[in-house]
Structure 1
């Protein structure tokens, strides 16, 4: 009964309000409010759709050091050797064996750091990174987590852009660090007999891990950066850079976001073994993540692999549970000390037995960027032509051989090389080195 009285009193007050405020005004205000809400929603929708999602790409590159022996043992390095024929007691992690650092590997890392404008740490440290794989017999990898040999570098790379893809576009990517570490062995899966075989020939081979900051936005930029790095390493002689033989292995960290907003959740595409596939894998992964976000889904932090047959990336394992590698200082290796010049050597230390930065710097060869400038100045050719001559394997050497054998003008020769020769080679899917 009491509730009924309260309801009647409330209804009476509502009628009084409607008398004081005409119904058409109420309707106008209600429609006006709804219209403002729709305009606001439309504005927000237009704003969010106009802010295009863009890709963000960082790279982790493992370069196998060109050395006759492994990083911490005297075992030889040979790609085609019979399984388990290049394995020392240390490589097999037998108890009581100790690491002995290979000076050639240190010099290669310092030389690479100098070529990439890095700061060389005069004192670097080794660490143990613990994880269990059947092809890692020690249960840990010796690496440089805390203080790597080189930091804070920059790689300048180029690619052909513009409407006709004839303009040389130059960009930069920051090198976070270069660290020395040992490679693992190989697991060979035998599906016929349902077993996994272990080859330790690669275990302990010296690697340089180069970490590139996420300064790239697409597969084309990442591919151009890796190609430039490959040319630099080959010019230095620190890595042969043959991706088909695993001498240069690339992991791509890919995410998408709207400019001005925090970076999105990244995925890692592992072990891409060619520059062409690298560009395709990154571009596919960017588009996949954009599609997921546009559908209102969530991009997961995971490891993926690139399937070259389907042109897609496929999930390998979830990375949401952060793996604890239990890093600890390597107790069997002292700090790695390099010296700026001979004047900084301690008394009694032979310079031939030490790593001297100035000596390595003086021995740096001509780098690809300098070669391109030399071609432009020496032959009067266009920058885009010199770019192609250096980037295509064996093409610069072939061009110079033709120039020595003929008296024709360089521009006529370069025109024939660019149009006729490269056109024929592309039709046959060949390179100049295969001619």
Structure 2
């Protein structure tokens, strides 16, 4: 990943400060030459970490969309054929503009998150203050998020450093990226606990629960989906239990967007540009492709699923019948997700009572009839997970592990022909990276 755009982003405050003054604008050094030195100052530590969060949140909003359009959560309705290609299941095309477009932002966010950890870590020996320790824990948290997302949605990735090309991890080794996320989130938890920031420690622990289960899911779908599709992780379950003991019943941890930071790119494409829309298996639409109802029903009560309504209301900024804006939050962890992790662990271990208990904790949040065997446990798990982690960047992996095919997928598409396939390293990196473009990395 070439980080020229990142350098411009880092340079902006310095450049703005300079251009407010007088004098010969040509009689200066390039402000980019000063950027890295400036951001390595201790006084800039919090700003560096805050900027990292902005880049990470922006990357997630960009990167989730092609992944979700390829699944049965979103569908193409606009004029750009590359979205249609994803909707048909062609998830492995590095030339697809909507796989290629988000890739630089992902590379920037990953690089800056590691840089932030290194920068703030460097200040710790000189100033082991609560503020520096908190900033370091936050840096680990945001680094953990981007590593987690890369591990969940990418088939392969290259960890380049500015203009220095990094070799690809390789599809068989992408579990190591999720391991890296878990390590970073563990450091965040320890750091927050040390300074008494228990709420932030809980956020990091919830994300580690997600990352640990995603690591178990990775094993289930690689090199190809196998077994029942259940992904059990005792470590994820322990994290989930600890989170549930510390949060409100319907707690969420969200990435947020605003005019003061950045917009939610996925919302811009869906709510504003209307290139994509929620899948028809989830919501009904009118002649203008605006949502006008709920298609997905609760399998026991046969009502519009309240969880779908919950997430679509959040997505549209109040009511799912509204057009929606470009700043809705994206949920990356929740109490519902924690119950789902524990329910799946219970089911994998043959604990039907434990499974029902956690499923019913979720159903009680929505006023639904408790589950008591009305449908099979696997059907109950699959439905409950589908509606309670909607728009959270997890659906395609769930479809793969449970053998669910979108009716729109074409037979020759990778999603159909090679289930388990995730998003590739895109063409912008293939052309620039000497490990990938056949030009070699010598001299």
Q: TM-score, normalising length from structure 2?
A: 0.22
Higher relative contact order (CA 8 A, sep 6+): 2
Higher normalized helix content (fraction of residues): 2
Q: Which has the larger radius of gyration?
A: 1
TM-score w.r.t. the length of structure 1 is 0.22
